[in-house]
C-alpha cells in the first residue's frame, strides 16, 4: 500500500473518533508528542497509537509512550496489578521494535503525585484513548483541565466509533443495522504508521521508571516474557488489596492474548454457535480480560475470526457478541448514567417496584454471598469460579446476576452487589460490558416476559432450568467448595 493510500485509510478509520478534550493549543515549546495508554494498553492495531504517531510525524517530532498503573483506583488488587504488569514487557518490547521511547510508571506510596502532569506539560500535544466508563473519563478530563497543552482523546474501544450511534440505543436490534452498515468502513486492518523522527537518545522522564528487567523472566531476554513471581513480590510492597489473588490461569499481556486467540480460532471458534452456552464446556474465547485492559483490540480479533476457516454460523455468532453486544454496552456506558438504575426502561422499573415487597426465599448478607453461602449450589459454584479464576462462564453470568434479586431486599441492592462482587473479582470487570450485563439482568435491552414473583415481568432464570438444560455435574465438581 502506498503511504498516501495508507493515510487515506487511516483517516477513514479515525473518522468520528478524535475529540479535543480542552481549548488549549499545541505547546510551541513541546519537544515530543505524548501518547498515554489508558484503556488500550498496546501499540499494535491501536487507533490511538496510529493517530498519535501520525500527529508526531506531521509535527516532525518523536513520539513518547507512557503507560501507568495507580494503586489508588477502586478495587486495585494483586489480581489486576499482576495482569497489567504482565503486559508491560510486551509493550516495552514492541515500542523498542518500533523505535519509540516507552516508560511504565508504577505508582508507589513514596512518590509525589503529578508524574503525568509534568510529562504532559513538556509535550507539544497529548494523545490518549477514550473509554466511557470506570475512572477513565474523569482522569482524562482532569488532565485536560490541568495542563496548558492540547489533549486529544481517540475513541479506540470499538470496531465502529461511538459517534456512529449518537443516541442511547434501546436494544441490540436497534444498534445492529447501524453497526452492520458501518462495518465496510471500519472492519479494516489499521495501516502501520512508521515514525519519521527517532526516539530521543536520552529522555528525562521525570519519574522513577519501572525497570523491565526486574519483572521479566530471567530465562528470556530482558523486556520480553513477564515473571509472575517477581511481579508478585513487587505487588506485595504496594498498598493494594492482597486478598484478591492473581489468576495463574490467565496471564496478562499481548503475547498471552495472541496465544489465546490462536487456540480459540483453532479449537473453540468451530462449534462456538452451538456450544458456547454449555457451562461445563468452556467453549468461548476467554478474551474479555485482554479486551478490558486493551492488551488486544476487538478489530484484530474480529479480522482474525473473519479470516479463519471456522463455519460461517460460528463466525457470525462470535462477531455478534464481539461487535454488536460489546458495542451496545459501550453505547450504554457513553450515553447513560450506567452505574445507576437510571437506564432501566419504565416497564422494568415499574414491575421491579411492584414486586419489591414480594417475600424472598432468603435475605443474605454481603459476606454470605461473597463466601458462596447461598442456598443455590449452581450460584455458589459460579461465585467460586469468580473468586478463584476472576471469571464466570458467560451463560452462568446471567443466572448469577439475576439470582441476586432473590436474596436482596430490592433491585437497587441486587445491582450494588453485582457491581461490588464483579468489580472486585472479575479480571474483565469495571468494564462497559459489566454494567451493561448487570442492567440487562434487570431489564435493560430486553422485553417484558410473563409475570413472576420478585422478577415481575423482567426475564427470570433459574438454576433448576439450567440444570435441566445443561449437563452441569462437571461444572459443579470443578467449582466445588
| Residue numbers at the binding site for ligand FAD (CB under 6 A) | 276, 284-288, 291-292, 321-322, 325-326, 329, 394, 397-398, 401, 418, 422, 426, 428-429, 431, 433-434, 436-438, 440-441
Using the minimum distance from each CB to ligand FAD, give the nearer residue, 130 or 207.
Answer: 130
Nearer to ligand FAD, 88 or 287 (CB): 287
Positive or negative, the CA dihedral 113, 116, 117, 118 is positive
| Greatest pairwise CA separation for the chain in angstroms | 69
What separation in angstroms does the CA of 93 have from each of 13, 47, 87? 26, 19, 10
Nearest-approach distance from CB 187 to ligand FAD, in angstroms: 15
Indicate if the alpha-carbon torsion angle 269, 273, 279, 281 is positive or negative.
negative
Map residue 214 onto helix, strand or coil: helix
Closest approach, Cβ 65 to ligand FAD, in A, equals 25
**Which residue, 286 or 407, is less far from ligand FAD as judged by CB?**
286
Q: Which is closer to ligand FAD, CB of 144 or CB of 386?
A: 386
Query: Least Å distance between CB 227 and ligand FAD?
Result: 26
For Cα atoms 293, 285, 129, give the angle at the middle one, nearest 5 degrees. 25
Pick the closer one to ligand FAD by CB: 234 or 421: 421
Closest CB 271 distance from ligand FAD, rounded Å? 12
Q: Which residue is nearest to ligand FAD (CB)?
A: 437
Looking at residue 33, the DSSP 8-state letter turns out to be: E
Residue whose C-alpha is closest to residue 332's, from 167, 443, 136, 141: 167
**Least distance in angstroms from the C-beta of 301 to ligand FAD:** 8
Is-contact 130 156, C-beta < 8 A? yes
Pick 124 or 325: Cβ nearer ligand FAD: 325
CA distance 50 to 320: 26
Q: Shortest distance, CB of residue 391 to ligand FAD, whole angstroms? A: 7
Cα(229)–Cα(47) distance, rounded to whole angstroms? 33
| For ligand FAD, the closer CB: 234 or 442 | 442
User: Which sign, positive or negative, has the C-alpha torsion 8, 9, 15, 17?
Assistant: negative
Taking the complex as a whole, the smallest distance from the CB of residue 157 to ligand FAD amounts, in Å, to 11
Strands 33-37 and 18-20: unpaired
d(CA 109, CA 364): 37
Neighbour count for residue 12 (Cβ, 10 Å): 11
By C-beta, is 34 or 84 nearer to ligand FAD?
Answer: 84
Find, among 344, 327, 322, 355, the residue nearest to 445 by Cα: 344
Kindly tell me which of 162 and 329 has the beta carbon lying closer to ligand FAD. 329
DSSP element (H, E) containing 125: strand 125-129
- Could you tell me the smallest distance in angstroms from the CB atom of residue 341 to ligand FAD? 14
CA nearest 164: which of 190, 146, 187?
187
Say how far apart CA 404 and CA 415 lie, in whole Å: 8
Question: Nearer to ligand FAD by C-beta: 376 or 428?
Answer: 428
**Rg of the chain in Å (alpha carbons):** 23
In angstroms, rounded to a whole number, what is the distance separating the alpha carbons of residues 351 and 67?
46
- Provide, rounded to whole angstroms, the least separation between the CB of residue 422 and ligand FAD: 5
| Shortest spacing between CB 76 and ligand FAD, in angstroms | 16
Amino acid at each position: 500500500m502506498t503511504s498516501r493510500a495508507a493515510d487515506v485509510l487511516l483517516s477513514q478509520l479515525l473518522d468520528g473518533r478524535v475529540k479535543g478534550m480542552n481549548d488549549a493549543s499545541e505547546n510551541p515549546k513541546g519537544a515530543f508528542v505524548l501518547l498515554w495508554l489508558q484503556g488500550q494498553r498496546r501499540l499494535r492495531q491501536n487507533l490511538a497509537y496510529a493517530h498519535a504517531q501520525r500527529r508526531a510525524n506531521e509535527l516532525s517530532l518523536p513520539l513518547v509512550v507512557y503507560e501507568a498503573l495507580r494503586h489508588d483506583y477502586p478495587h486495585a488488587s494483586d489480581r489486576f496489578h499482576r495482569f497489567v504488569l504482565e503486559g508491560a514487557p510486551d509493550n516495552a518490547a514492541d515500542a523498542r521494535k518500533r523505535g519509540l521511547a516507552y516508560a511504565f510508571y508504577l505508582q508507589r506510596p513514596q512518590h509525589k503525585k503529578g508524574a503525568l502532569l509534568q510529562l504532559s506539560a513538556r509535550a507539544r500535544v497529548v494523545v490518549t484513548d477514550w473509554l466511557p466508563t470506570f475512572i477513565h473519563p474523569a482522569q482524562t478530563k482532569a488532565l485536560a483541565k490541568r495542563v496548558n497543552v492540547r489533549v486529544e482523546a481517540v475513541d479506540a474501544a470499538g470496531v465502529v466509533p461511538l459517534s456512529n450511534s449518537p443516541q442511547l440505543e434501546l436494544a441490540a436490534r436497534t444498534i445492529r443495522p447501524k453497526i452492520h452498515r458501518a462495518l465496510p468502513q471500519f472492519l479494516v486492518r489499521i495501516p502501520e504508521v512508521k515514525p519519521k523522527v527517532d526516539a530521543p537518545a536520552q529522555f528525562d522522564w521525570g519519574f522513577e521508571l519501572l525497570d523491565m528487567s526486574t519483572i521479566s523472566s530471567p530465562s528470556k531476554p530482558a523486556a520480553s516474557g513477564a515473571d509472575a513471581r517477581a511481579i508478585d513480590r513487587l505487588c506485595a510492597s504496594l498498598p493494594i488489596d492482597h486478598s484478591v489473588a492473581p489468576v495463574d490461569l490467565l496471564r496478562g499481556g499481548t503475547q498471552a492474548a495472541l496465544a489465546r486467540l490462536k487456540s480459540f480460532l483453532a479449537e473453540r471458534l468451530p462449534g462456538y454457535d452451538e456450544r458456547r452456552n454449555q457451562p461445563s464446556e468452556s467453549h468461548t474465547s476467554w478474551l474479555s480480560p485482554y479486551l478490558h485492559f486493551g492488551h488486544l483490540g476487538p478489530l484484530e480479533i474480529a479480522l482474525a475470526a473473519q479470516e479463519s476457516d471456522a463455519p460461517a454460523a460460528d463466525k457470525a455468532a462470535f462477531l455478534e457478541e464481539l461487535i454488536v453486544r460489546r458495542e451496545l454496552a459501550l453505547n450504554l456506558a457513553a450515553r447513560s448514567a450506567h452505574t445507576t438504575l437510571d437506564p432501566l426502561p419504565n416497564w422494568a422499573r415499574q414491575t421491579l417496584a411492584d414486586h419489591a415487597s414480594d417475600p424472598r426465599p432468603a435475605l443474605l448478607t454481603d459476606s454470605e454471598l461473597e463466601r458462596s453461602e447461598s442456598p443455590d449450589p449452581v450460584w455458589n459454584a459460579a461465585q467460586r469460579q469468580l473468586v478463584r479464576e476472576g471469571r464466570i462462564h458467560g451463560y452462568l453470568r446471567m443466572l448469577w446476576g439475576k439470582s441476586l434479586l432473590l436474596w436482596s431486599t430490592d433491585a437497587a441492592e441486587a445491582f450494588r452487589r453485582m457491581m461490588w462482587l464483579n468489580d472486585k473479582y472479575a479480571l474483565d470487570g469495571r468494564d462497559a460490558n459489566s454494567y451493561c450485563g448487570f442492567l440487562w439482568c434487570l431489564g435493560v435491552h430486553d422485553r417484558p416476559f410473563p409475570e413472576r414473583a420478585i422478577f415481575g415481568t423482567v426475564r427470570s432464570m433459574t438454576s433448576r432450568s439450567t440444570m435441566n438444560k445443561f449437563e452441569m455435574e462437571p461444572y459443579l465438581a470443578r467449582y466445588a467448595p
